[in-house]
Amino acid sequence: MEIRTRFAPSPTGYMHIGNLRTALYEYLIAKSKGGKFILRIEDTDQGRLVEGATDVIYNTLKITGLHHDEGPDVGGDYGPYIQSQRMGMYLQYALDLVEKGQAYYCFCTKERLEGLKTSNQKGDAFARYDRHCLSLSKEEIQANLDAKIPYVIRQKMPTEGTTTFHDVVYGDITVDNSELDDQILIKADGFPTYNFANVVDDHLMQITHVVRGSEYLSSTPKYNLLYDAFGWDAPTYVHLPPVMRDAQHKLSKRHGDKSFEDLLEEGYLTEAIVNYIALLGWSPSDNTEIFSLKELEEKFDISGLSKSPSIFDIKKLTWMNSKYLEAMDFDKFYSLAEPRLRSAIKNTSLDLKKIATLIQKRLETLNDIPRLVDFFDTLPDYSTELYIHKKMKTTEEIALSSLEACVPVLEQLPQWEETSIHDAMMNLVAELGIKNGQLLWPIRTALSGEPTSPGGAIELADILGKEESLRRIHIGIEKLKQLQ
């Protein structure tokens, strides 16, 4: 049997981390077994639709490499893949259940239903429907329909016994049928409810595995009873525990937690985000942490899914992102870094590729670039305390003498490039009888004006050029002389 999974988001806004993880697991379940991954847009809740949200879904799947085999934009044999375009079929399926005695018309008004809530003796916020309309005769039903009285269609739930279903993550789960309400299948506006449309579409699209959040566990018995009512085989259920901000709180955009788009804007790489999200609830058979999407397709096994909630750790993602940046092919890295470098550095004479080479292995995110390189454009105002370094055994006095000694040597260099600068400075170290750091640390500090910098004195001098390097060294000398 071919494995067929579906990602069925509602176009109601941004792509949050939990949604993306669900899509990723559905993709991996299918691809790890040579199956099909389907995209279906569930837009039956018209009141919650957000303009442009469907494009966000398409773009996210494209950017992450989760390419769907069937969907609204690529077609397929089981379309349409947008629920609102499938409207003609849902009512007929509900009417089939009415004919079988598995569902019934309900003409109760909102006022009556509200009255049920207020008369609930337990004080619950929700009162179970009392089946007032279940006893209506065919003649009464037809009269109401002819009078165009608004109605919904409800599923007739069993009132005795239990319903059991098996979930890949949580095992066998059993509920008492007496706890189940007669859920609405078709709403008064003619649109199907989320649960009903899901079951019909999943069956017609031959979906074999349904992956969703554990908050839907309580709805699953209703799904199964619908499958039973139609005489259809139920899919394999995979319910995922939530992704948490901390031990008590789920991730929430309202509380400032990041969406996928937010993470991209903050300089995280798509590949690192996907890799990290894959590990939020799934453990590989070994201790490997870094996976390409292709490697995930090969390694993923559904048995590795956990029932424990996962905490989204931004520090762990940041670490993983730094590893991706460090290992990235330089040309690819430069294509990502160049726009940020050009924005931060206005001096067009500087070699941005040389700067990119220095910073690649020092970045945690791409958004670190401006902070690391802005000194190339403008020397910051800095304290002479930066020249003091215990490990390098430098003091302000040593720094001043070293800078004064290097000026004539650098001025006389016939060729300004990294090798010649290095050789000249090493010869000067030997001539002065000092340690390398006692010369190079003061030069690096004078050139950058920062406590740390990507690259040392030689690399910075090479990039800044002779004139600018000497100008900055003279500024350092003047700062240090003012202390005397």
3-state helix, strand, coil in the chain (%, to 5): 50, 10, 35
Name which of 459, 457, 414 is nearest 438 in CA terms: 457
Name which of 66, 67, 27, 72 is nearest 54 in CA terms: 72
How far, in Å, are 189, 232, 271, 328, 348 from residue 339 at the CA level?
A: 50, 55, 19, 17, 13
Alpha-carbon gap, residue 405 to 390, rounded angstroms: 21
Residue from 253, 353, 361, 393 carrying the catalytic annotation: 253
Alpha-carbon gap, residue 337 to 356, rounded angstroms: 7
Alpha-carbon gap, residue 284 to 203, rounded angstroms: 31
What DSSP string describes 162-185? EEEEEETTTEEEEEEGGG----EE
What DSSP string describes 37-75? EEE-B----GGG--TTHHHHHHHHHHHHT---SBBTTTB
Alpha-carbon gap, residue 128 to 116, rounded angstroms: 8
Q: How many CB atoms lie within 10 A of CB 348?
A: 7
Burial class of residue 422 in the structure, from the number of CB atoms within 10 Å of its CB (0-12 exposed, 13-18 middle, 19+ buried):
middle
CB 155 within 8 A of CB 103: yes
How open is the CA angle 193-195-199, to the nearest 5 degrees?
Answer: 115
Residue 31 catalytic?
A: no
Location of structure tokens 């319903």: 163
Burial class of residue 327 in the structure, from the number of CB atoms within 10 Å of its CB (0-12 exposed, 13-18 middle, 19+ buried):
exposed
CB 37 within 8 A of CB 228: no
The sign of the CA dihedral 251, 254, 255, 260 is positive
CB 243 within 8 A of CB 250: yes
Q: Which residues are catalytic?
A: 253
